[in-house]
């Protein structure tokens, strides 16, 4: 789409020129990029003096620049920052606190700095413990950017380039996938049909001699357009993966830390217990801290074969930040807030759906919602341009959202967890206006 640069501020023009010179092509959000210079709670402020309601950034989970997080970071950075090779009570306290939020048995933590690193380590553990090398991932998944994890991230390269240690499964998309809700299939049958997609994936990995080391999945299916899998879906897949000798990895980088409202962790919504859980993004409210949590038997089997050390992972400053974030989530009841405000938002969105036929489907839990836009409820033709335009225009209204999914036609609402009903009303007002405007 052509960009009208005639009204562009000189400062933005200059920043873009310098960025282009020194950056390797990382893309910017919005046709007319924004220079965000300050954040506070749910609000972001740009260099032009505009204020934006942040409905997009999940990393700042407890709100931008939360004073307790900033204070904890400052205090610890002013005292000591080393690594996990000296005894440090803070990281031990945090490991125990974190383990206490997970099902019994998942209580051994390995710390790192990014979601990619956590998934890389999880895969390394799975390969080492199972003796297999293959991984099953969901089509169009994203799990990170290292060599191995980049290969798991099926949305980042053409299927023809997929290495033979990766097999994909169709996502459980009951709106536009092979098996759909509202037809003749019950939820149990839908779960069985989609879980059965693991069978050919297992066979494919076994046939090429890779075997199944792991199945890795994000329970909110962010890059697939935010999906509500049938309740027994994960039980079915986990059973098949374990029967093939593989481990089940729950990638909670998006779904974890209370965002989905009902439960602290995404996999808990489906009544399964993974062998390995990975987490990152919201864990440090913007500070780079991530972790792998697993069982003692798995960790010990791995540690017998390798030495794992991560210079920055779990350092005292990261530990102080992560501990404060988790405490704030608990003390400010942010999981409960995600549940309540998420329900309110969903009710308001359902109301909008009655008014705007462009809305084909609304999915997600708590404060992670996807709104799929389609040109026709029968054809399900993706309304990509409309989704793009709405997201751009909402920015001009002072509301930041995103878009996702294979066709880029799913509006993504994923605000910091301090999102209030009043914030939801502002979002709904703008969305309502732009859903009307985009068709005129």
Interface residues with ligand PLP (CB under 6 A) are 114-116, 119, 142-144, 218, 222, 251, 253-254, 280-281
What is the nearest approach in angstroms of ligand PLP to the Cβ of residue 118?
A: 7
Q: Distance from CA of residue 126 to its chain's centroid?
A: 21
DSSP 8-class letter at 186: -
**CA neighbor of 123 nearest in space, from 199, 212, 255:** 212
Question: Is the Cβ of residue 280 or residue 316 nearer to ligand PLP in the bound state?
Answer: 280
Nearer to ligand PLP, 179 or 259 (CB): 259
Instruction: Give the C-alpha separation, 419 to 400, whole Å.
Output: 13
Minimum distance between the CB of residue 286 and ligand PLP, rounded to whole angstroms? 11
* Beta strands across the sheet bearing 247-251: 108-112, 290-294, 276-279, 247-251, 212-217, 134-138, 166-169
Half-sphere exposure at residue 423, Cβ-oriented, CA atoms within 13 angstroms: 24
Query: Which C-beta is closer to ligand PLP: that of 136 or that of 358?
Result: 136
Q: How far is the CB of 152 from ligand PLP (least distance, A)?
A: 9
Q: Indicate the residue among 278 and 324 with the shorter CB distance to ligand PLP.
A: 278
Listed residue (435, 411, 408, 431) closest to 56, CA to CA:
411
Closest to 283 in 3D by CA, of 154, 98, 18, 77 = 98
The answer to whether the CB of 310 falls within 8 A of the CB of 117 is yes
Taking CB positions, which residue lies at the least distance from ligand PLP?
Answer: 115
Structure tokens at 351: 């109301």
214 within 8 A of 135, measured Cβ to Cβ: yes
| Alpha helices for 281-333 (secondary structure H) | 296-305, 316-331
Please state, in angstroms and rounded to a whole number, the distance separating the CA atoms of residues 217 and 246: 13
At closest approach, how far in Å is the CB of 115 from ligand PLP? 2
Return the number of the residue (144 or 211) whose C-beta is nearest ligand PLP. Answer: 144
Name the burial class of residue 16, with classes exposed (0-12), middle (13-18) and buried (19+) by CB atoms within 10 angstroms of its CB.
middle
The least distance separating ligand PLP from the CB of residue 78, rounded to whole angstroms, comes to 26
Tell me how far, at minimum, the Cβ of 59 lies from ligand PLP, in Å.
Answer: 9
Considering the complex, state which of residue 143 and residue 363 has its C-beta at the smaller distance from ligand PLP. 143
Nearest to 345 by CA among 331, 323, 364: 364
In the complex, minimum distance from the CB of residue 281 to ligand PLP, in angstroms, rounded to a whole number = 6
How many residues does the structure list for the chain? 440
* Per-residue tokens: 242: 């374990």
Nearer to ligand PLP, 360 or 402 (CB): 402
By C-beta, is 251 or 275 nearer to ligand PLP? 251
Least distance (Å) from ligand PLP to the CB of residue 27? Answer: 14
CB atoms within 10 A of CB 196: 14
Instruction: Tell me how far apart the alpha carbons of residues 270 and 218 are, in angstroms, rounded to a whole number.
Output: 12
User: 143 vs 295, which CB is nearer to ligand PLP?
Assistant: 143
Smallest gap, in angstroms, from Cβ of residue 327 to ligand PLP? 22
Q: Minimal distance in Å, beta carbon 353 to ligand PLP?
A: 26
Alpha helices in 196-282 (DSSP H): 198-207, 233-243
Q: Give me the least distance between CB of 114 and ligand PLP, in Å please.
A: 4
Minimum CB distance to ligand PLP smaller for 254 or for 423? 254
Q: Is the CB of 72 or the CB of 291 nearer to ligand PLP?
A: 291
Question: What's the rounded Cα separation, in Å, for the pair 276 and 293?
Answer: 6
Residues 236 and 195: beta-carbon distance below 8 Å: yes
194 in Cβ contact with 172 (< 8 Å)? yes
Half-sphere exposure of residue 10: CA atoms within 13 angstroms, side-chain side: 0
């Amino acid at each position: 789409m052509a960009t009208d640069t005639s009204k562009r501020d000189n400062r933005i023009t200059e920043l873009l020129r310098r960025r282009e010179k020194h950056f390797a092509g990382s893309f910017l959000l919005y046709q007319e990029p924004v220079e965000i210079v300050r954040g506070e709670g749910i609000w972001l402020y740009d260099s032009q003096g505009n204020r934006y309601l942040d409905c997009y950034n999940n990393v700042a989970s407890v709100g931008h620049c939360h004073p307790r997080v900033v204070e904890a970071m400052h205090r610890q950075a002013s005292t000591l920052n080393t690594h996990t090779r000296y005894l440090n009570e803070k990281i031990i306290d945090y490991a125990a606190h974190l383990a206490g939020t997970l099902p019994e048995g998942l209580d051994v933590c390995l710390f790192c700095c990014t979601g990619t690193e956590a998934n890389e380590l999880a895969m390394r553990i799975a390969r080492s413990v199972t003796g297999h090398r293959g991984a099953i991932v969901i089509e169009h998944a994203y799990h990170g950017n290292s060599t191995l994890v980049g290969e798991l991230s099926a949305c980042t390269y053409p299927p023809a380039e997929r290495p033979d240690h990766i097999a994909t499964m169709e996502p459980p998309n009951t709106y536009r996938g092979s098996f759909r809700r509202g037809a003749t299939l019950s939820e149990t049958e839908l779960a069985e049909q989609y879980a059965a997609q693991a069978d050919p994936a297992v066979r494919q990995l076994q046939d090429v001699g890779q075997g199944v080391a792991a199945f890795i999945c994000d329970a909110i299916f962010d890059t697939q357009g935010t999906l509500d899998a049938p309740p027994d879906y994960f039980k079915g897949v986990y059973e098949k993966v374990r029967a093939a000798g593989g481990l089940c990895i729950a990638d909670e980088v998006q779904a974890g830390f209370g965002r989905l409202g009902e439960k602290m962790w995404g996999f808990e919504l489906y009544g399964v217990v993974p062998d390995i859980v990975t987490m990152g993004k919201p864990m440090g409210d913007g500070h780079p801290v991530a972790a792998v949590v697993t069982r003692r038997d798995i960790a010990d089997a791995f540690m017998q074969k390798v030495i794992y050390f991560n210079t920055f992972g779990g350092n005292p400053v990261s530990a102080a930040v992560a501990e404060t974030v988790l405490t704030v989530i608990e003390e400010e009841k942010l999981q409960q807030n995600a549940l309540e405000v998420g329900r309110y938002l969903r009710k308001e969105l359902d109301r909008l759906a009655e008014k705007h036929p462009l809305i084909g489907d609304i999915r997600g839990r708590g404060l992670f919602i996807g709104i799929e836009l389609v040109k026709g409820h029968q054809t399900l033709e993706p309304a990509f341009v409309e989704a793009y335009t709405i997201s751009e225009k909402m920015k001009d209204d002072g509301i930041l959202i995103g878009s996702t999914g294979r066709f880029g036609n799913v509006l993504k609402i994923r605000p910091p967890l301090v999102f209030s009903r009043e914030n939801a009303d502002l979002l709904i007002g703008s969305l309502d206006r732009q859903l009307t405007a985009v068709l005129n």
